[in-house]
Each structure stands twice: as structure tokens, then as C-alpha cells.
Chain A
Amino acid sequence: MSTVQTAGAAGVLERVRGSRLLWPLVALVALIAANAARNPGFLSIRLQDGHLYGSLVDILKNGAPTLLIALGMTLVIATRGIDLSVGAVAAIAGAVTCTTIVGSSDPTSPAAALTGIGLALALCLVLGLWNGFLVSLLGIQPIIATLVLMTAGRGIAMLITDGQIITVRNDFYREIGAGFLLFPISILIALAALVAVALVTRRTALGLLIESVGINPEASRLAGLRSRTIIWTVYVFAALCAGVAGLMISSNVSAADANSAGLWIEMDAILAVVIGGSSLAGGKYSLSGTLVGALIIQTLTTTVYSMGIAPEVTLVFKALVVIAVCLLQAPKVRERFRRRRRSQDPTSPSSPSTSGSLAPEEDSPAPTAHEPAGDAASDSKQKVAQS
């Protein structure tokens, strides 16, 4: 949260090492490297007709909806909540837009698309208000409250589309999910939203207030925060993100499929948030973590396809990678790694020091002098085993 004051390259290195983002980033790079090893064309990007093409660009394009939903989910999770309904809300958004376009007088006109989009987002706003109402005003547990809309939402989408897959031919609408402005428009939208949220929450006090509510809603209320309003707002925001993501998904295929659009995307989004290092217990959140998390999830999905992994085992494979990343992030495992590294290399700087520690002069030599001795029992064994 505090502004980064880089203290030279060493400081940056130290920050990266202590950062919760380290392992997710390593995982992302490893995934990409694995793909590149198998398929040398994986990393190539070419420019054609003002568009970028390549597997990496595909990852960005297909990952945009997950990223956008994960963005909304991050704020919800920061307030100790969870929103399971985002997939259903995405389906509803696509359904409303496509139905409106098809039903309009000129289904190919931008006006028809805009009307549809407007209606869809307005409905998403209402759905977000509904979730927020259940959670913040009625005090229903978020997982239950949003489960309502998760199940009912697909039904609503089916009602809207009459159970049909509705296809549209509208070039304007197609741009959202399939268009390019050098980069895929969808990822530009998602990144713009990410940057906007980062600016709004970190430049204003909103981030602090959200974290505060997530850490302890009652203490926050007694400190004069509008806990309910804040909680309500994040659900509305999450629903809007889900709505836009639903537009991307439906626009990409120029169709609304009430059954499968955004199916299980809530799980991907939650995973992205968790991989990014935000705790499901609420409180501190990391938007950059969510970005990396969403990229990992999408790269993983792409990998599964491009490596020709059998469909029966795709989900298991995905699960294994997720478990690995989560384990690498777990404080206990990280602590292990750090200790081992330190005992191997006693001259390396000690634990990441926070800015303005008590007595830096006195402190810095102390840990290296003490800790190997203190951990002697466990660490010396490891050392012997390794050497």
C-alpha cells in the first residue's frame, strides 16, 4: 500500500524475494517455458493487419473475462465475502444483450448492440444490489446468499433466451470479445478496469476502508465506517464486472448460451484471487496478484489444450498445478524455504526487513549470528543431507 521507494537493485531483489508474488510469477514463467519447449512457435507473436497474433495473445484474449471477474471477486473477498453468482450473472448479461439485439428493428446496427449492452448492465446492477442486499442488510452468509443467484441465475438466463442458443450478427457487438486494437479489445477493457480499480482504491482511502471492513466489520462500524455500504458496493461492482465479462464471452462467439456461458468461471476467478495471494479470510488484498493469478489460470487452460492432455485428466492436471502454487505460497512452506536458503548461505541478507525497523545497525548482523544457531537442530541436518 505504501509507495514504493526503491532502494537500489538489491532492495528490489529483496522485495521480490519476500513478495507473495514470487512463486505465482515463477509458476507462470514455468508454464510458459514448458509450452515453449514443447511447441517452439508458442512464444512467437506476429503483426498482421494491425492485429497481434500468437498463443500468448490468445491467452490474454481468452483470459480477459476471468481477469475481469477475478477483479470484482478480489474486492468481494477482501471484505470477507465470496460471490458464487458471477458465472450466472455473466450468462444473463450475454442472454439479455443477444436477445435484445435479435429482437431489435435492425439487429446489425450499433444502436441495437448498445441498447442490449445497456439493458444487460442495468440488470447486472440490480443483481449486484440483490446480492449486496442479502449479504450486507440481511446478514446472510455470502456463500449462501450468492448461491441463490448462482443456481437461479442460469434459470433466468434460460428464461430470457427461451432455452435456445441465440446467435447474432452484429459487428459492433463482436468487437468487445473478438475485436483488436493492436491488442485484443477484451484484455484492454479488463486491464483498464484493473488499473482504474487500483488507482481508485489505492489513491483514495477506499482500499483501506475495504480492508478494514474485511478484517473486522464490527470494529470498523464502531470506528465510523459505513461497513454495510462498502460491502454492498463491492457486490454491485462484482456483478458489473461479471456482466462485462459475460458480454465478452458472448460477443467472442456472437451467441448467447445460457447453459454454458461462464460455466465454472466463478471457480477460476476465486482461484485466481487465491493464487494471487489474497486470503479468503478477508482483509489485505493484492490486485497485481489477481492479475498474475488470472494469467496462470488461463495459461494452464491453454496448456492443457496445446499439450494434448487427455480431456479425462485435464481437470486433475489443473488441480495439481493449483495445489503446487498454493503450497508454494503457504507461509509454512515459504518459511521452510527461507530458512534453508539462509542456512546454506549465511552471508546472504536476512529476512526481508520492513522499512524503518527499530535499530537497523544493531539488528542486521544479529539474525545471521543467531539464527543458524537457533535452528541448529533442524537445519544442520538438512545441510548435512544436502552437502
Chain B
Amino acid sequence: MTDTPSTRTAQPGGPVSTGAPVVAMRGISMEFPGVKALQDVDFRLFPGEVHALMGENGAGKSTLIKVLTGVYTATAGTTQLQGGQVAFSGPAEAQAAGVSTVYQEVNLCPNLSVAENILLGREPRRFGSIDMAATRTRAEELLGRMGLTIDPGSILAEHPIAIQQLVAIARAVAVDAQVLILDEPTSSLDQDEVAELFRIMRHLRDEGVAILFVSHFLEQVYEIADRMTVLRNGRLVGEHLTKDLSRLQLVSAMIGRELGVLEEVERLAADASDEAGGTPVLEATGLGRRGSIAPFDLRIGAGEVVGLAGLLGSGRTELARLLFGADRADSGVVRVAGREVHLRTPRSAISAGIAFCSEDRKGEGILGDLSIRDNLVLAMQAARGWARPIPKRTKDELVEKWMTALDIRPNNPDALVGKLSGGNQQKVLLARWLVTQPKLLILDEPTRGIDIGAKAQIQKLVTELAAEGMAVVYISAELEEVARLAHRVVVLKDRSKVAELDGSASVDDIMHLIATSDSEQVAS
């Protein structure tokens, strides 16, 4: 999934609001114990506009949405809907009042039909039971209104995620929503699907629906949004018409500083190239696992960043899991620093000096109910065994050191990791491994779903670690990121390694390899 900036011009041609806002939030503050999530934030949303809510992770976007939809009760401030004061007790009440939300994950019933999902809970009734025929007709109408041709009788799970998302939107507007909140609706969609979503969003906008849109993809925001509100650290930075705000201005508003960090990454990456040679940190020969990834060879030298590029399902994650012993290989040999090792479990890989951050941060990474401190030391503690606890002083020093080094916020080691923003969770996870001083660090999508500031910090960290001699395997769906950071790029396709390119390879080269059908070997 790549952005093609050149073809997407910012044409926020939408009708821009003149009348009264449909939503007006004033002076909203929201405090959780120890954290001020929002401070005195104003927000307004006009009918017939697409309004993007922008900010880094942890800026307060989700909190603001939750205050609006009644999930949270604001500590201070007022919310008006159509000029009347409201304080919803929860999303259901908000929806009844015309404020519908579609979340990133599709919250529908996969084993019910499309029609049933759209009208679930408000099905037309007849003689006290659900009138299936009317349900179907009504769903067909709604889908038709959005210009969708989906069979309302089909089972939801049979459709791809993108269609399910559109069904979720159909469900959201089925209640005559005046306000539609779309929280990261595009994160799992491909280009065509995004285009389809945007078509429908424009359609709804032209019907007068006010759409609040949250996305990490700047290009998409510039394509669809008429207006944007930028938050940073729980405070309002500003509200702008999209056409008045350049991308650079937006980004610096979001991260609160000029783009120096990103440029530094470029420079460091350039500096650090061609450092390979000597005994490889890791050398895999014929490593493979049936049904997972075809046998491949791979060499990673000290101080080298090897990028893994490929589409979702190309085998990039599977390859990484083999290298970490998360899955067991059924063929091949792995040598670490020249010595053969058997990576039967993550534990054995860790003792060989290998670390791995899974792409599934919540499911396979952080332990949300534990504190930052416990999360940070977990891998080190596990390696030491339960009987040898890390002395309190050492622990405090380590935690202090890494929280500062990676700028983890809030700066409170007792905070529960589950409550942190995605970027900070990722940093905690990285720190957990850096504490163990690995020789090889495998990062699977470390920057997915996190904000630009944290992303830049993590990329910078990777180049620095490599410069200090750590070997890094870097997986990202964003080819530009891979091309920029990696000294070598391994291209994967259909569960096998198809090529290995050197650092000078461009995004176009990689895309070409992924797109062509022949698995033609290209020497590095």
C-alpha cells in the first residue's frame, strides 16, 4: 500500500460552511488520574463538510471523539448539537441523537447478512417479529443511496474488509446521522477501496452530513478534508481550511517542531551505509517452513539494516518469525556469529542475541495491564529466570535511562502501558529489547499506526543503533521507509524470497519486483 503523491492533488472543493455548526464543543478538558488528556479544547463541525481531526498519537483525538460520543464525560466544557446543549451518556444515546461513529475495527456481526447488520436493533417489525422482506428492502435502499451494489442477503463475512467497512458506514447513516465520525477508516484498505470510500464520503457530505475524519495518511486527508483541526498534547493548535495549510505547516503543527528530525534520519541513513563485511551476525541457509515461507538464504552483517519488502501475506512476517524462533523452521540452518543455533523457541533466539518486535503490538507485544517499568524489564527478567530478580536499583536505572533515551511519555514508570498511545507503546516495546542488548533486532512494522513524531524518532533510533553495530531487520509496508532506511532490501512475494537489492535501490525498483510475475533472482 503506497501513496502516490503526484497523482493526488489537494482539491478540497467541498462546500465550506457558512451557517451554524452542527457540533460545537467549547473549553473541553478531560483528566484521567495523572494525565490531562484534553485541556480547554474548542472544536466545531459544520454540516456538509469533511473535517479532519489531526494530531500525533496521544494528542487527544480519540479522547475528543469519545467525549463527543458520550463514552467519556468531560471534566469541563460544553458540547452543543444543533445549538442545544448535550451530554450523552454513551454511544447509543449519541447515535439516537444523530451522531454515529465507525471505528477502525469493524464492529459488526460477521455471520449475519449485510441487511441484518445494517438494521440490527432497529429492524422493521411485523406481527411482533422481524420483517425480513422489509429489512432487505430497507437495506437495499440505504446501500443504493450510497451507490453500493451489494446483495443485502449475503453474509457479511463473505465480503472483504473494505466492503464490511462500507456496510458499517451504511449502518451508521441508517439512523439519519447528521454527524458521521470515521476513526481511521482507511487503515486496512487498498487504494481502490479508499477511492470508493471517499466517493461515498463526498456523497454523504453533499447530502449535508457532517463528517469527522481521523487518519494518519496525510495524502488522504488532503484529498478529502475541507477543514482540519490540529491537536497537540491535549491542546488545540488550530483550526484551518485545508487549502490554507500546507503539508509542511500541518506536520510541524502536529509535532510542534520543524522537520529537522526527519532530515537527520536521511543524513544518518546515508552515513551508515556500506558497513557490511566480516562475519555475519546472522546467516540463514535454506531456512523455511512449509505453508509459511519457502526456503531462503539470508546474511545480515553487524551495523547493517536489512529491509524486508513485500505485500501483506508475502511472507515477510513469517520470515521474521522463523528468525526469532516464534515459529519453528522445518528446514535449513541458522548461524549466529558463525555458530550454528537451533531456534526452537523465542527463548533460544533471545539467548542467541536476537530480539523481535511483532507487528501485532497489542496482541503479541505489550502487556497492557502492567506498568511501563515491568514491561521494560520483562525480557531481561525472563532471560535471567524467575529466581534472580533484577535488583531494584539496577531496574530503576535501566527504566530511567531508556524512558529518557526514547522519550517515553508520560514520564511515569508506574503508568500502565495499555493506557499509552501507540507510539509510546512501541517505544516501550523497543526499550524492552534494547535493555537486553541484542545483536540482531527484528522490527516488524514498528511504525504502523503511530504518529509522525514517534515514527521519525524510531527511524532515527534504528539508524543510530545500526551505526553502533547492531544488525537490524526492518519490515514495513511503506516501501519508501524500507528504501530509505535499509542498506539492503530483500523482496518477498507469494511466500518466497524473490530478490535482494542493495541500498541504492529505489521504491520503483522494489515495486517493479513485487509487481512482475517471474521470480527472477537479482544479485545484490
Chain A interface residues (CB < 8 Å from chain B): 2, 203-206, 208-209, 211-212, 215-216, 218-226, 283-284, 351-358, 363, 366-367, 370-371, 373-375, 377
| Structural contact, A351 and B346, CB atoms closer than 8 A | no
A373 near B76: Cβ-Cβ < 8 Å: yes
- Known contacts A204-B386, A354-B412, A374-B76; can you find 16 more A-B pairs with CB under 8 A? A2-B414, A205-B387, A205-B388, A205-B390, A206-B387, A212-B367, A216-B367, A221-B346, A222-B324, A222-B356, A222-B358, A222-B365, A224-B379, A357-B33, A366-B31, A370-B75
Residues in A neighbouring B386, C-beta threshold 8 A: 204-206, 209
**Which residues of A are found within 8 Å of B73, using beta-carbon distances?**
374-375
* Residues of chain B contacted by A2 (CB below 8 angstroms): 414
Is B364 part of the contact surface with A, judged by Cβ < 8 Å?
A: yes
23 contacts between A and B (CB under 8 A): A204-B386, A205-B390, A212-B374, A216-B364, A216-B367, A216-B368, A220-B367, A220-B378, A220-B382, A221-B345, A222-B365, A223-B379, A223-B382, A225-B378, A226-B382, A284-B369, A353-B34, A355-B414, A356-B412, A356-B413, A356-B414, A367-B31, A371-B75
Residues of B within 8 A of A373 (CB): 75-76
Asked if B389 is at the interface of the complex by the 8 Å CB criterion, the answer is yes
Please state if B75 and A219 are interface contacts (CB–CB under 8 Å): no
> With a CB–CB cut-off of 8 A, which chain B residues contact A371?
75
Out of A211, A351, A356, A370, which one reaches B33, CB within 8 Å?
A351
Residues on B with C-beta less than 8 A from A377 are 87
A224 touches B382 (CB 8 A): yes
Closest chain-A Cβ to B153's Cβ sits at a distance in Å of 35
Q: Which of A209, A215, A223, A352 is B432 in contact with, Cβ under 8 Å? A: A223
Contact assessment for A224 and B75 in the assembled complex, using a CB-CB cutoff below 8 Å: no
**Chain A residues near B31 (CB-CB < 8 A):** 366-367, 370
For B364, what are the chain A residues with a Cβ–Cβ distance below 8 Å?
Answer: 216, 218-219, 222
Chain A neighbourhood of B412, CB < 8 A? 354, 356-358
* Residues A224 and B346 in contact, CB atoms below 8 Å apart: yes
Q: Give Cα distance in the complex from A353 to B414, angstroms.
A: 11
CB of B243 closer than 8 Å to a CB of A? no
* CB closest residue in chain B, given A362: B36
Q: Could you say which of A212, A226, A375 has the most chain B C-beta atoms within 10 Å of its C-beta?
A: A212
B350 within 8 A of A: yes
How far, in Å, is B352 (CB) from chain A's closest CB?
Answer: 11
For window 403-445 of B, CB contacts with A under 8 Å fall at 410-414, 432
In whole angstroms, what is the CA distance A116 to B410 when docked?
Answer: 57
Task: Please give me the residue from chain B that is nearest to A228 by CB atom.
Answer: B345
Q: Give the CA-CA distance A353 to B385 in the complex, in Å.
A: 33
How extensive is the interface on chain B, given as a class?
35 or more
Known contacts A224-B346, A226-B347, A353-B33; is-contact A204 B389 (Cβ 8 Å): yes
Q: Are A205 and B365 in contact (CB under 8 A)?
A: no
Q: Does B522 contact A (CB under 8 A)?
A: no
Query: Nearest Cβ in chain B — how far from A295, in angstroms?
Result: 27
Task: Establish whether residues B370 and A357, one from each chain, have CB atoms under 8 Å apart when the complex forms.
Answer: no
User: Considering the chains assembled together, what is the distance between the CA atoms of A224 and B349 in angstroms?
Assistant: 9
Question: What is the distance, in angstroms, from B294's C-beta to the closest C-beta of chain A?
Answer: 24
Which B residues are in CB contact (< 8 Å) with A225? Answer: 347, 378, 382
CA distance A367 to B31 in the complex (A): 8
Partner pick for A354 among B34, B358, B363, CB 8 A cutoff: B34
Closest Cβ–Cβ distance, residue B363 to chain A (whole Å) = 7
Name the residue on A nearest B378 (C-beta): A223
Q: Does B366 contact A (CB under 8 A)?
A: yes
Does any Cβ of A come within 8 Å of B298's Cβ? no
Query: Which residues on the B side are within 8 Å of A352 (C-beta)?
Result: 33
Q: How far is the CA of A203 from the CA of B368 in the complex (A)?
A: 23
Closest-by-CB residue of A relative to B361 is: A219
Interface status of B35 (Cβ within 8 A of chain A): yes
Are A205 and B432 in contact, CB atoms less than 8 angstroms apart? Answer: no
CB-based contact A218/B34 at 8 Å: no
- Tell me if B342 is interfacial: C-beta within 8 Å of chain A: no
With both beta carbons as reference points, the residue of chain A lying nearest to B77 in the complex is identified as A374
Q: In chain B between 20 and 66, which residues have their CB closer than 8 angstroms to a CB of chain A?
A: 29, 31, 33-36
Minimum Cβ distance to chain A for residue B439 (Å): 15
A78–B137 alpha-carbon span in the complex (Å) = 50
Closest B residue, CB atoms, query A376: B87
Cα-based distance from A374 to B368 in the complex (angstroms): 28
Q: Which of A222, A358, A371, A374 has the most CB of B within 10 A?
A: A222
Q: Is the CB of B34 within 8 A of A358?
A: yes
Please give the distance in Å from B281's CB to the nearest CB on chain A: 19
Question: Roughly how many angstroms separate A355 CA and B432 CA in the complex, as a whole number?
Answer: 23
Contacts of B363 in A (CB 8 A): 216, 218-219
By the criterion CB–CB under 8 Å, are B382 and A363 in contact?
no
**Once the chains bind, are A209 and B382 in contact (CB under 8 Å)?**
yes
Q: Contacts A209-B386, A222-B358, A224-B383: A283 and B34 contacting too (C-beta < 8 A)?
A: no
| Interface flag for B482 (CB, 8 Å) | no
Chain A residues within an 8 Å CB radius of B350: 224
Contact of B381 with A by CB under 8 A: yes
Among A204, A219, A370, contact of B367 (Cβ-Cβ < 8 Å): A219
B326 within 8 A of A: yes
Chain A residues with Cβ below 8 Å from B374 are 208, 212
Task: Give every chain A residue within 8 A of B385 (Cβ-Cβ).
Answer: 205
